[in-house]
Chains A and B, each alone.
Chain A
């Protein structure tokens, strides 16, 4: 528990390169019209980058199970924020309001 994991420099450089490549892909994807999939692709790449940062730069990959559990539970609360907010936005087109007088 008290041992500190020291990652080799090559790991950090590899992850840094991966993050740069993913950033370039994000920029590239912005020039391609994927319709409603545009934000999905952008968020998927951002999610992947965040995962790499959390696992390697924040050392969660080498941390105790309690730390891993804490990270997963935090993500669960972020998921609640997104899912329940989207519950409102995703259903906004479901009702067809008829303006008064028509």
Chain B
């Protein structure tokens, strides 16, 4: 086999200096800008998590004042949800990969793409200002009437930051929808698209349809604080529960903004490292759309103890179970893809194996919480905290890290250390379970979330959880080191180091600014891993 040569002309070498990055319209460079920004926010949000876990190593509230602890979990949530998880896979991997995956030179609106990054940064600055100015203590959910009438912390600046960042999300979604509709290479019809693209299409629909609702809701809180409108004030005919309806109408589907793109990543990696076409391609494709639609009709399961009527609660409980069906379709079909596949265990696939277990536990414990009776017991306990971390960290971040490891050679053109990347994947899996599994038990035993003190009998499980968080933190720090190291010292990757099918692997690594010299015309079936294709395309 020939030794691959690092291409002299590529999108990274096309322009030097800060200006060439800050004024770029290249979707790949914008993806890198997003990668740097969201990584910074990830580690900032992680610092707040460190504070939380340190405080909870002892039953007494001996490290922080209660108000400070409230600010820590609020800022951890706000930063991780709005400034890391929501933009993570779409803004980095989606931005980088959707055009080459569909044979296009760029997204439909390159300037709007750059604008979305600037809007994201401006939203982030407002939130950073809120942190420096003293923080905010409402919880990431900004529940009224506390946020609108009582809290004396920086609710307005934080809410404005989230409001502004929402427009970045809308613009990215809009760009993807138009790009996927209008810019596919000739012959690339919908059922030849990678499932990564289907997942991003479904995600974009949620971003465009849902984000305006939370934006308006946040404006209402803002107006309530500034002008005393009374929308959420019962004394003037308002209703605080209305805030929860409007907030969760977006924020429950927002969970699928975080997880759906990661599910798309999983489909690509599973297929590549099994050397098989995804089992039941069309079912997996449509299950993404089904999750997007069902995600919009289940929101009030977050409100079973908030005072909604039992009749509405029964309907929402029943509907909430419906989301389990398309999610299960995906898991079953991935498992069937693995069956009798030619499996291998490179780092991206290790993240995927970890994802399977964590997503399964996260999904199934969601059914406990969709059930009215058990939710009354478990609501607002650590069981809920464990459940959504299994989905958002165990699902979304495992998918994101798997994707970063899978496409890093394409993005940078060089390989990272296989040894250290495997160690990191194992550390993340072990550390994650050690952190969050004890929290299921704590929640079941009745430990409420958002308290900085707890009875002595909960200490062992809390110390386990904090110890696990240290391992998890190490697992997240390692990739920063070996990935950055690989940018300069990594082995040259070549165009297709994994032997994957898909148009993006036909480009050079790193790709040219225009991705392709000519618009690809011989479009393969998605995930075409027949022996003949593997032999002819040398996908070995």
Contacts and interface: CB of A to CB of B under 8 A. Distances in A.
B312 A91 contact: yes
Describe B's contact surface by its main secondary structure. Answer: helix
A94 B249 contact: no
Contacts of A95: 309-310
Given A80-B296, A81-B249, A92 B309 contact: yes
Nearest to A93: B309
B156 interface: no
B209 to A, nearest CB: 5
Contacts of B296: 77, 80
Contacts of A85: 242, 245-246, 249
Contacts of B209: 74, 77
Nearest to B210: A77
B223 interface: no
Nearest to B311: A91
A94 B308 CA distance: 12
Tell me which of A77, A80, A92, A95 has the highest count of chain B C-beta atoms within 10 A of its own C-beta: A77
A88 interface: yes
Interface string B298-319: 0110000000111110011000
Given A80-B297, A95-B310, A87 B315 contact: yes
Contacts of A74: 209
A84 interface: yes
Interface residues of A, number: 12
Interface in B270-320: 296-297, 299-300, 308-312, 315-316
B241 interface: yes
A9 to B, nearest CB: 31
Tell me which of A84, A88, A94, A95 has the highest count of chain B C-beta atoms within 10 A of its own C-beta: A88
B311 A94 contact: yes
Contacts of B242: 85
B226 to A, nearest CB: 25
B310 A84 contact: no
B331 interface: no
Interface of B: 209, 213, 241-242, 245-246, 249, 296-297, 299-300, 308-312, 315-316
Given A77-B209, A81-B249, 7 more contacts: A80-B296, A85-B246, A88-B245, A88-B300, A91-B309, A92-B309, A95-B310
16 contacts: A77-B209, A77-B296, A80-B296, A80-B297, A81-B246, A84-B299, A84-B315, A84-B316, A85-B245, A85-B246, A85-B249, A88-B241, A88-B300, A91-B309, A91-B311, A94-B311
Q: Which 9 A-B pairs give the minimum distances between C-beta atoms?
A: A88-B312, A91-B311, A91-B309, A88-B308, A87-B312, A85-B245, A77-B209, A81-B249, A92-B309
